[in-house]
Amino acid sequence: MTRFTLPRPTSGDIIDLIIDDHRVMESLLRDVRDSSGDREAARQAYSALLVAHSVAEEEEVYPTLRTKTAQVGEHEVEHGEEEHAEGLAALLELLEAKGTDTQKYDDAAEKASNYLYHHVVEEELTILNPARSDLSDAVRADLGAKFLARRSALLDEDCGDIETVRRLVARAVKDDTIPSADLPESPGH
């Protein structure tokens, strides 16, 4: 796929695994912005990891957090899902930028970076910290295994392609997770 090798752990504590993915995505976004490197490869790797991470987290982690944690409320989980959808919309804008040496690309890279940094800080403080104390080691390990299995399956499916991202964004709009007014005008909308 790219010259970037995405980590493929096979087990771990869900909190640590999510935080590790956050650090990898931050690194990939630095490469997305670096005009001296392979921006296209970084963009594709970031897309694959963001999609795999977001989908696996929503499908395998958030449902348990809704039922097993006293400190993570429905609002925090729903807000996390909204932020995932906003991140996918920012990713779509980045993927739709033709080439990697245009102002449109740079603007989209900045928007994606701003989204990720906001989301990472908020999720780590309001969802992951409380979950670390509310969930047992066994539950965190079980969630880690489920998250990684789904994440790996998605990466194997090349989940970061533009058509998949378009479908995910369209579904978020249809489900009223994000308003369509937040999306850029593009041929895919």
Q: Which two tokens stand for residue 81?
A: 């899902």
More confident residue, 189 or 52: 52
Element (H, E) at 173: helix 162-174
Whether the per-residue pLDDT at 157 is higher than 70: the answer is yes
pLDDT of amino acid 1: 40
User: Quick one: average pLDDT of 156-165?
Assistant: 96
pLDDT of amino acid 181: 56
The burial of 37, by beta-carbon neighbours within 10 Å (0-12 exposed, 13-18 middle, 19 or more buried), is given as middle
How far the first Cα of the chain sits from its last, in Å, is 26
Q: Which residues contact 10 (CB under 8 A, 6 or more apart)?
A: 148
Phi-psi region of 102 (alpha: psi -120 to 50; beta: other; left: phi over 0): beta
Q: Assign 188 a pLDDT band (cuts: 50, 70, 90).
A: very low
Instruction: Please name the residue ranges forming H helices in 34-73.
Output: 39-56, 62-68
Q: Determine the Cα–Cα distance for residues 184 and 172; give it in Å rounded to an integer.
A: 14
Q: Determine the Cα–Cα distance for residues 57 and 154; give it in Å rounded to an integer.
A: 12
Give pTM, 2 decimals. Answer: 0.90
Q: pLDDT (tens digit, 9 = 90+) per residue, 33-77? A: 999 999 999 999 999 999 999 999 999 998 888 776 656 666 676
| CA nearest to 19, candidates 120, 126, 112, 163 | 120
pLDDT of amino acid 177: 85
